[in-house]
Structure 1
Amino acid sequence: MGHRQEKINVNQHIIDYLDYYLDSQSVYKSNYAVLLRGDWGCGKTYFIDKFIEEKKKNSKWNFCFLSKQNKYKFIKVSLFGLKNTNSITEKIFQILYPIRASRCTKFIKYTLNKHLKIDLDLILKGSINLNFIDDYQSKNKVKIIFIFDDLERTDIDIKEILGYINYFVEQNNFKIILLANEYKLLPNKENDNSQNQLYLEFKEKVIGKTFEVKHSFEMILEGFLEHHKIDLNEELNLFDIIKEVYESSGYKNLRYIDQSISEFKYVFNRIDSKYKQNIEFLSQFAKVFFVILIELKNGNLTEDTLNPLKDTNHTLKGDESKENKLSSLFKKYNLSVSDILFDIGDWEIILVKGDISQINNMIQGLHFFIEEEQQSWVKLWHFRELEDDEFDIQLNDMIKKFKNNQYLDIKTLLHVTALLVFFNNQKINSYALEDIKNQMLSNLENCYSDGQEGVLIEDTFWGAYGLGYYDKTSLEFQNMFEVFKEQNKIYYDHAVNQKKRDDLKNIISNLSKGNIKEISDFLNGDGLYIPIFVEKDCAKEFVGTVISVRNQKMFDFLYNIFFSRYSNRRNFKDYFSQELDFWKEVQKELSNQPVDLRDRKVKQFNLNLFKEKVTEIVDKMQNHNQ
């Protein structure tokens, strides 16, 4: 309740004045506007929305309120991105006379013209005055209040927009509330030209009162959380987590906080309930989520920083400058790189690509949820807290599993190797380094024995499963890791190439059977950002299958799957550049196609489009690879 009182006090003088401005009979025929100013994202829109909401609470009218026998209707229009004042007039008209669908337009035009004497075409062209507003007020016995938001972010020429607002105030005596980051409009060191001088003259003439909107972050955050209604575990204090991140960030953009809460809700709702019971995990997950997302929104983090290697989603590549940047960034929030839970590339998949299909698999592998009988290495990671007899039990268990090749997860295997090297260096156990290396390689081979794709690890900077690799700076471990990395890459490349071949074979097989949905599910799911069409040897079979299927299936595949996969130009460079040789081979097969389709006009039509698209893909890939 203390937070709520603080918020009211901060802007109560603005609320009091707006009540006076709207209610006072002396200003009913107003000849000035009120400006609410503040930096972008500081809470101006939130403030005015809450002001309107409070006015609506005691009213049965939608977006209207009664006060002193007057009924008011707010018309709120964002000027952001609008190109001309006709667009504003159109938005106002659509609010007053909502047009639900384009197929109703003719009927509405007829009705408005016949019964209200309003010509919609002339209004939308901006060719007449704003009498339709007076008509609405008269017929509905309301007084309209106009709120124009984002004045500094409009694409309308400053002279045109200011003249438009001036017309509302001086000629029609409408009450106007403007919202703007006025610093962008006033003459100053950054802005000192004729347009800014024009705004200054306009302000002196039209704006009668200016207020600086301030905010109580606590109350606004409270409002955001109430609005989004996240079904949280009562023990999770999301309010304090977000507040801590907000204060540590140094950014004051409330809009980003609201957006981030919305995105958190989306991800949170897709986390299995069994994981939501662990408050330690949820608290750490929420903090890292908001840290990375807010830094992304403010531009201090980029997609390139989160995903340094673009040719696959399964890799992390060392980049000293990026590592240093990320380390210093996390320190701002009292985080170390081992606190971020997932690989940094996984966060890029979640927060940049918006792909959360694997979120529960990622969480499952965290140290919070590793089964008791499998977590001796996790307990040893915290060995300083163990009693000596417990330490011996856990160490013997880990070594036994290590010698029996039971560590089938590559990141876990590297953790175990790091611990054994550390214990050797500290003379805590006598497992020889050479024996550790040989057994590590034996485990590593076993990791790929069942056709698993594995994971490519290029450095040890990030750790895994929310834990850093032990003793990663020691010479002994670095030498061990080089052996690990080299052999792992051989296994990994072979497994990935085999999987790509298998995936392509499955696509061809499903296409021949007409199973278009299975292809779509794969290419829009696990295969969305992965180069699949890479095996040149499969090009001939692929082309033959495309030609042989029924026209409907060919159409579905080409138009609904194939064409859409290559519609985003950036994907050629980031994800699909490895497919160039395959599509060049397809291009060759199409040009040498011996099948006579002269009597199959539809098939020939579809095939010609396919040829054109393949040529376009090849050209774009070649341009991006230069």
Structure 2
Amino acid sequence: MNNNQHIREFLDFYLGRPESKLKCMNTDYAVLITGYWGSGKTHFIRNYLGKDDSEIRNWFTDCKDYCVVYVTLFGVKTREEINQRVFQKICPVLSSEKLENLVGNIPNLAELAGFVVGLVAGTPTIAVASKKYSKIVGNQLKELSQKVVDDLKKTKKEFKKTIIIFDDVERADVPIPELLGYINEYVEHLKIPCILLAEENIWNEAKIKQKNDSTLHSLSSTEEKVVGKRFLIQTTPEEIINAWFPDDVVAENSVDENDKVCPPSHIFGDNVHELLFPHKNMLINIIKASGVNNYRAFKHTLHDLNNFIGFGYCNIPKKYFEKDKDFGKYLLADFLCIQYAKYLDLLKKDFYEIDSHKSTENDGSYKDFKNQFENIDRITSLNYLGDEYKWLPLWKKWLRNGSIDKDEIESKIKDTIWFDRKQDDMLPKLYDWYKLSDVEGEKALLYFKEILDEKKLLDPDAIFSLYYKFYWYAEKGALEETPDEFNKKMNEYLDSIKDNIHYQDFSSFGGMDSYEFMTEAFEKNVSEFRDKLKKIVLARKEFHNVDETNYFNAQMKSENDLTFNLLCKKVENRNSYNLEKIKEKDFVESFVSLKTMERKNRFKAALEGNVYFLSQIPLRG
């Protein structure tokens, strides 16, 4: 059962809908619906009056069976201002040329807002109007109201009742007893159903504040007289997200059978809908993880996503979302969690000012944020090879400035395991290929083929390790290729990369010789490949005359971020860079010379990935 079904059933009774089992004999009271800020009060009443299957763009004409005068009371200071707002809601219906002169001849028409609404609703209040404004004006008003009804019927085929919705009641700058007295004129004298929407906490605070004010009417007695029923809205994240992202969607600029352009049925635009529709469960989980069901703030967050990706994907090219769905999901989750947390004030001001390393260890607000959303997979939470340290500066810039540098974010996207660093993620999976699911195993095989076709597998130890494992798989019939076909392919691959393969000093660790105990059963078959590989690698030694220390110093001090990041990527993998040959003094001086905390944190994260080097630090003193 819907959490708010009891409210729907009472409104059916209150408005005299056929669905109601009971007939309402009297509507001389208002219904108050409260809820916490952003909890979906307006969304609920919009869906209810639209019968859940049509979007209300114009309250006055689009609600089935009813003419709805929707008025926000935010900031109103006088009864006259409320009258003015009520009348303005009717004005679009009074826009025909036939009514212009008539409207202009009636003085202070805004003050007659209640009477106009009453006349549209069919309430016999013309006598009251005539006494106040003279018989001539009263007759003109009667003529006006009849023309309003006639004009309304042209735009709306049928309507049975007029309803007034007063939203943001708690934010009116009018004492609550006086405001309720104004509303009482509609419900008691004009017999017009009124639905009041208010924020729960502020409404209660306002009541407490005015409770002991002796200059005002008794609030409790006034509320008791005017408000006949009060409900607290309880809208779930599932209801909101499914309403925002329905299964049947009309895309922007689509046309109907008469070649007329149809308005889009979703509210965030084509791009955001396209990106988020497959991840509705993720959106629901983010709201739940926050602990605050503030749908208004989350709606703002989704609109902000439009600015983040840019019009027509101008900030983040669409190809990145299309090429890897996991990347798109994790990036979107990171943005949504951080932006929503900002609206909820879960991220404090100092988040913008602290360096990224300190933020993860010493700053309570960011630590609390991470704990709050720990079950949501995000780029920064997954933290592949120091991704958190790379992305935090970008998020801080976004939260501070509301904009991003497209070149900067594209550079960060490329430097992830889903793109340029894909090998860092996929190679370990290839090593343990037999443990993977069918789907993951197929993806890993496709990646193996990809790096061979593109000649990206250049590390000797990785080449032999994968050769050994997959030759064994071929022997067992797990591959489509026979062992001979696989062996031929890998030998041809060696020939194609012999001038580019990385040099490896096998004396520093076991190298390929460490596999000899593993290859005993296949010695006859694999020894030829292993010997050929070692010969090619040793031939590269004469070209490997770069001074490691000078190279390291140059990369560390480079002003080019891409050059520095390339060094960090090598440091993360001991097989790509031999840190042990860097002199301690040069190593420390180069690290101290780093000018920014972002670089120091990036390099420290790279060191953390080099487990072997860290294990040697105590021995090196």
Judge same fold: TM > 0.5, yes or no: yes
Aligned to 1:618: none
| Distance of 2:591 and 2:182 partners within structure 1 | 74
Aligned to 2:175: 157
- Mapped pair 1:194 → 2:212: yes
Given the alignment, which residue of 324, 346, 357 partners 1:300? 346
For 2:50, give the aligned amino acid: E
Aligned to 2:532: none
Question: By how many angstroms is 1:188 displaced?
Answer: 10
Is the partner of 1:82 in helix, strand or coil? coil
Alpha carbons of 1:162 and 1:233: their partners in 2 closer, same or farther (altered >3 Å)? closer
Contact 2:77/2:174, CA 8 A, preserved across alignment = yes
Contact 2:59/2:70, CA 8 A, preserved across alignment = no
Mapping of 1:551-562 within 5 angstroms?
Answer: none
| Distance of 2:359 and 2:57 partners within structure 1 | 60
Given the alignment, which residue of 72, 75, 85 partners 1:78? 72
Contact 1:307/1:344, CA 8 A, preserved across alignment = no
Contact 1:39/1:181, CA 8 A, preserved across alignment = yes
Contact 1:460/1:469, CA 8 A, preserved across alignment = no
Name structure 2 gaps, 5 residues minimum. 122-144, 150-158, 247-265, 375-380, 432-458, 465-500, 505-543
Question: By how many angstroms is 1:470 displaced?
Answer: 2.9
For 1:90, give the aligned amino acid: Q
- Mapped pair 1:144 → 2:162: yes
| Distance of 1:470 and 1:130 partners within structure 2 | 74
Contact 1:162/1:199, CA 8 A, preserved across alignment = no
Mapping of 1:299-318 within 5 angstroms?
Answer: 299-308=345-354
Aligned to 1:354: 402
Alpha carbons of 1:132 and 1:253: their partners in 2 closer, same or farther (altered >3 Å)? same
Contact 1:420/1:431, CA 8 A, preserved across alignment = no
| Distance of 1:79 and 1:61 partners within structure 2 | 18
For 1:223, give the aligned amino acid: A
For 2:86, give the aligned amino acid: I
| Distance of 2:554 and 2:275 partners within structure 1 | 42
Given the alignment, which residue of 363, 370, 373 partners 1:323? 363
| Distance of 2:206 and 2:72 partners within structure 1 | 25
Question: By how many angstroms is 1:413 displaced?
Answer: 1.8
| Distance of 1:30 and 1:183 partners within structure 2 | 27
Say how many residue pairs are matched: 433
Aligned to 2:320: 275
Aligned to 2:41: 44
Deviations 1:83-141 (A, max 9, x none): 333222112111101399xxx99998754033xxx32xx244x4x57322234445244
Aligned to 2:192: 174
| Distance of 2:389 and 2:217 partners within structure 1 | 52
Question: By how many angstroms is 1:48 displaced?
Answer: 0.7
Mapping of 1:86-165 within 5 angstroms?
Answer: 86-98=80-92, 110-114=101-105, 118-119=106-107, 122-124=108-110, 126=111, 130-137=114-121, 138-139=145-146, 140-141=148-149, 143-165=161-183
Aligned to 1:379: 424
For 1:23, give the aligned amino acid: G
Identity of aligned residues (%): 22
Mapping of 1:414-433 within 5 angstroms?
Answer: 416=567, 420=571, 429-433=580-584
Mapping of 1:513-532 within 5 angstroms?
Answer: none
Question: By how many angstroms is 1:201 displaced?
Answer: 2.2
For 2:228, give the aligned amino acid: G
| Distance of 1:273 and 1:151 partners within structure 2 | 43
Question: By how many angstroms is 1:147 displaced?
Answer: 0.6
Given the alignment, which residue of 463, 470, 484 partners 2:607? 470
| Distance of 1:472 and 1:108 partners within structure 2 | 77
Contact 2:71/2:166, CA 8 A, preserved across alignment = yes
Contact 1:76/1:146, CA 8 A, preserved across alignment = yes
| Distance of 1:433 and 1:391 partners within structure 2 | 31
Contact 1:415/1:469, CA 8 A, preserved across alignment = no
Contact 2:34/2:198, CA 8 A, preserved across alignment = yes
Deviations 1:598-617 (A, max 9, x none): xxxxxxxxxxxxxxxxxxxx
| Distance of 2:290 and 2:58 partners within structure 1 | 42
- Mapped pair 1:389 → 2:461: yes
Alpha carbons of 1:468 and 1:261: their partners in 2 closer, same or farther (altered >3 Å)? farther
Is the partner of 1:185 in helix, strand or coil? helix
Contact 1:402/1:439, CA 8 A, preserved across alignment = no
Aligned to 2:335: 289
Mapping of 1:184-583 within 5 angstroms?
Answer: 184-186=202-204, 193-194=211-212, 198-226=218-246, 227=266, 228-231=268-271, 237-268=278-309, 269-270=313-314, 271-277=316-322, 278-308=324-354, 323-334=363-374, 335=381, 338=386, 340=388, 342-356=390-404, 358-368=405-415, 379=424, 389-390=461-462, 402=551, 405=554, 409-410=560-561, 413=564, 416=567, 420=571, 429-436=580-587, 457-458=596-597, 463=602, 468-471=605-608
| Distance of 1:223 and 1:318 partners within structure 2 | 40
Deviations 1:276-303 (A, max 9, x none): 1222321111111111111110112144
Question: By how many angstroms is 1:200 displaced?
Answer: 2.8
| Distance of 1:405 and 1:58 partners within structure 2 | 62
Question: By how many angstroms is 1:415 displaced?
Answer: 7.2
Contact 2:574/2:610, CA 8 A, preserved across alignment = no
Is the partner of 2:179 in helix, strand or coil? helix
Contact 2:8/2:48, CA 8 A, preserved across alignment = yes
| Distance of 2:81 and 2:329 partners within structure 1 | 46
TM-score normalised to structure 2 length: 0.57
TM-score normalised to structure 1 length: 0.57
Mapping of 1:604-615 within 5 angstroms?
Answer: none
| Distance of 2:6 and 2:601 partners within structure 1 | 51
| Distance of 2:57 and 2:410 partners within structure 1 | 47
Alpha carbons of 1:207 and 1:328: their partners in 2 closer, same or farther (altered >3 Å)? closer
Is the partner of 1:23 in helix, strand or coil? coil
Question: By how many angstroms is 1:255 displaced?
Answer: 1.3
| Distance of 1:297 and 1:402 partners within structure 2 | 46
Question: By how many angstroms is 1:205 displaced?
Answer: 1.0
Deviations 1:316-356 (A, max 9, x none): 79578863431332133223675557543422332442223
Specify the structure having the higher radius of gyration (Cα).
Answer: 2
Deviations 1:545-573 (A, max 9, x none): xxxxxxxxxxxxxxxxxxxxxxxxxxxxx
Question: By how many angstroms is 1:418 displaced?
Answer: 8.8
Alpha carbons of 1:93 and 1:263: their partners in 2 closer, same or farther (altered >3 Å)? same
Contact 1:187/1:197, CA 8 A, preserved across alignment = no
Question: By how many angstroms is 1:174 displaced?
Answer: 1.3
Is the partner of 1:146 in helix, strand or coil? strand
Contact 2:35/2:232, CA 8 A, preserved across alignment = yes
| Distance of 1:329 and 1:58 partners within structure 2 | 36
Aligned to 1:493: none
